[in-house]
Amino acid sequence: MDFAYTPQQEALRKEVRDFIAKAFTPEVYAEMQAENEGRPFHRTACQTPHLKALFQKIADRGWVGISYPREYGGQGGDRISQYIVEEELYRVNISISLGGSGAPAILAAGSEEQKRHFIPKLISGDYMFAQGFTEPRGGADLAGLQCRAVKDGDYYVINGQKIYTSNAESATHVYLMARTNKDLPKHEGISIFLVPMNTPGITIRPLWTIQNDPRPTMTTTYGHARTNETFYDNVRVHKSTLLGEENKGWRVGSMGLNLDRVGAARYLISVRRDEDIVNWIKSSREFGDYSPANDQAIRDKIAELWTEAQVCRLMTMRSMSIVERGGKFTYEGSAEKVWAPEHGVRTTEAITQMLGAYGQLLHGSRRAIREGLFAHNVMGSFQSGINHGSVQVMRDQVARRGLGLPRNRG
Ligand SMILES: Cc1cc2nc3c(=O)[nH]c(=O)nc-3n(C[C@H](O)[C@H](O)[C@H](O)COP(=O)(O)OP(=O)(O)OC[C@H]3O[C@@H](n4cnc5c(N)ncnc54)[C@H](O)[C@@H]3O)c2cc1C
């Protein structure tokens, strides 16, 4: 088995690197510094002129949605090429992802009209989804959701509350899971709606996370400074906003979540953090004569972490390869979702030990190392094992779908 990239894929990587070297002008960096919210920049949320122009240049090269079919605005390309472009841009804090599980779910389960309407607009950045799945009574038991959508002629009327609706403040639509039949077993009777955020009756309330105070620096690999509570009060939506069949939303939602776990993001969060540590170790001047690069314990540790990061990479490649070949993809994304965030926590713990007390100094502190990057990553790393499905729940999915164990009724 050969894990090497093809010459064309290597050429694409070089092309993206050359592009970055030229297009990331001092003006772009200045805007990134000023607009920084600690997470990668996404085109829908960027309104400043140089960043907007940068995203347009990226789009003009056909680099967004490479693996999506041409008839829906993509390039009909392969996932590895898309991954390569995403990887290179993510390293410089630019996200060109289509924003979560909405796009893969529409492609898999949407009507022709929905595919033609949504996918090109998600690729162009005119649309962006927030995901409205989790509710206050518990996200792990997603199938127990209580938000109701009641049919009223050609419309549905939605009432309920969601929590952790990240990006709701800048999204154009919410990809919303609601109960359409409360008499069916809990995994049934659920439907998904593609709801415009400006529909009357939607209220967004910010939910600030530990990463908001102080705001991290732009090089932080995490950056959920804000998520949201969202309230749906008699929100009336047309039946054309229903994705897939009524009461069959559980399968659509799970499939979308699983497919969204395939790709660059998870591996890159890990690898970026490892690279940041290695770069610091190589160039550290903070401790006078003591050089971390010559400390055997540190050398051993970073070699171990790098090896772990390669496992993340291989898991990602395997998942992409399965999806690319149209194979059965069930638990592999869950396995990645266990390994990558836990590797992340181990990485942040390791750098904290290497830095001692300095590892706790945040952005703004006079003696903070690399503007507090590593301390911010410690705080951020904990949510990565919770969002997008907690690692405990992911382990259970690996046990059931990967290893054939019975459903845990305990
Ligand atoms: C920063 C952040 C951003 C997020 N963004 C979004 C978003 O955009 N959209 C969205 O819909 N959701 C989002 N989430 C929600 C996320 O998916 C949930 O937090 C997650 O599913 C866990 O749900 P919970 O927090 O309600 O924990 P709970 O369901 O209350 O669970 C608490 C703990 O118990 C464990 N647990 C629960 N049940 C079991 C079980 N059966 N077996 C083993 N362990 C179990 C869980 O793993 C967890 O550790 C986000 C969360 C965070 C932290």
Instruction: State whether the beta carbon of 389 lies less than 6 angstroms from ligand 1.
Output: yes
The best mutation among 37, 387, 397, 408 to test binding of ligand 1, ranked by most ligand atoms within 8 Å of the C-beta, falls on 387
pLDDT of residue 1: 67
- What is the average per-residue pLDDT within 82-107? 88
Instruction: State whether the beta carbon of 137 lies less than 6 angstroms from ligand 1.
Output: no
Q: What residues are paired with 261 via a beta bridge?
A: none
The Cα 306–Cα 215 span in angstroms is 28
Percent of the chain with pLDDT over 90: 60
- What is the average per-residue pLDDT within 22-39? 88
pLDDT of residue 154: 98
- What is the average per-residue pLDDT within 217-228? 76
Q: What residues are paired with 227 via a beta bridge?
A: 207
Nearest Cα residue to atom 44 of ligand 1: 392
How far away, in angstroms, is 199 Cα from ligand 1 center?
Answer: 27
Least confident of 99-108, 196-205, 260-269: 260-269
Q: What residues are paired with 175 via a beta bridge?
A: 131, 194
How far away, in angstroms, is 394 Cα from ligand 1 center?
Answer: 11
What is the chain's mean pLDDT, rounded?
A: 90
- What is the average per-residue pLDDT within 35-56? 85
Judged against a pLDDT cut of 70, whether residue 410 lies above it is answered with no
The Cα 202–Cα 235 span in angstroms is 7
How far away, in angstroms, is 183 Cα from ligand 1 center?
Answer: 25
Instruction: State whether the beta carbon of 133 lies less than 6 angstroms from ligand 1.
Output: yes
CATH numbers and ranges of domains, the chain: 7-97 (1.10.540.10), 129-247 (2.40.110.10), 261-402 (1.20.140.10)
Output the 3-class SS for the chain.
CCCCCCHHHHHHHHHHHHHHHHHCCHHHHHHHHHHCCCCCEEHHHCCCHHHHHHHHHHHHCCCCCCCCCHHHCCCCCCHHHHHHHHHHHHHCCEECCCCCCHHHHHHHHCCHHHHHHHHHHHHHCCCCEEEECCCCCCCCCHHHCCCEEEEECCEEEEEEEEECCCCCCCCCEEEEEEECCCCCCCCCCEEEEEEECCCCCEEEEEEECHHHCCCCCCCCCCCCCEEEEEEEEEEEEEHHHEECCCCEHHHHHHHHHHHHCCCHHHHHHHHHHHHHHHHHHHHCCCCCCCCHHHCHHHHHHHHHHHHHHHHHHHHHHHHHHHHHCCCCCCCHHHHHHHHHHHHHHHHHHHHHHHHHHHHHCCCCCCCCHHHHHHHHHHHHHHHHCCCCCCHHHHHHHHHHHHCCCCCCCC
- What is the average per-residue pLDDT within 200-213? 92
How far away, in angstroms, is 141 Cα from ligand 1 center?
Answer: 8
Asked if residues 125 and 73 have their Cβ atoms less than 8 Å apart, the reply is no
Q: How confident is the model at residue 219 (pLDDT cuts 50, 70, 90)?
A: low
Ligand 1, residue 135: give the atom nearest the CA: 26
Nearest Cα residue to atom 16 of ligand 1: 387
pLDDT of residue 213: 81
pLDDT of residue 266: 65
pLDDT of residue 259: 77
Ligand 1, residue 136: give the atom nearest the CA: 26
**Where is pLDDT greater, at 213 or 221?**
213
Asked if residues 207 and 163 have their Cβ atoms less than 8 Å apart, the reply is yes
pLDDT of residue 274: 85
pLDDT of residue 239: 97
Q: How confident is the model at residue 47 (pLDDT cuts 50, 70, 90)?
A: confident
Ligand 1, residue 388: give the atom nearest the CA: 17
Ligand 1, residue 100: give the atom nearest the CA: 8
Query: pLDDT per residue over 271-314, tens digit each?
Result: 778 888 999 999 988 888 999 999 999 999 999 999 998 898 88
Instruction: State whether the beta carbon of 390 lies less than 6 angstroms from ligand 1.
Output: yes
How far away, in angstroms, is 200 Cα from ligand 1 center?
Answer: 28
Instruction: State whether the beta carbon of 208 lies less than 6 angstroms from ligand 1.
Output: no
Q: How confident is the model at residue 175 (pLDDT cuts 50, 70, 90)?
A: very high
Judged against a pLDDT cut of 90, whether residue 45 lies above it is answered with no
**Where is pLDDT greater, at 223 or 276?**
276
**Where is pLDDT greater, at 382 or 242?**
242
Judged against a pLDDT cut of 90, whether residue 138 lies above it is answered with no
How far away, in angstroms, is 389 Cα from ligand 1 center?
Answer: 6
Nearest Cα residue to atom 24 of ligand 1: 139
- What is the average per-residue pLDDT within 86-103? 86
Neighbours of 49 (CB within 10 A): 11
pLDDT of residue 246: 97
Least confident of 48-57, 113-122, 252-261, 351-360: 252-261
Instruction: State whether the beta carbon of 39 lies less than 6 angstroms from ligand 1.
Output: no
The Cα 384–Cα 152 span in angstroms is 39
Least confident of 70-79, 190-199, 366-375: 366-375
Q: What residues are paired with 205 via a beta bridge?
A: 229
Cα–Cα nearest to 217, from 368, 381, 52, 367:
368
Query: pLDDT per residue over 347-359, tens digit each?
Result: 999 999 999 999 9
Judged against a pLDDT cut of 70, whether residue 217 lies above it is answered with no
Query: pLDDT per residue over 307-345, tens digit each?
Result: 998 898 888 888 888 888 888 888 888 998 899 889 989
pLDDT of residue 377: 87
The Cα 213–Cα 120 span in angstroms is 37
How far away, in angstroms, is 331 Cα from ligand 1 center?
Answer: 18
Instruction: State whether the beta carbon of 139 lies less than 6 angstroms from ligand 1.
Output: yes
Judged against a pLDDT cut of 80, whether residue 38 lies above it is answered with no
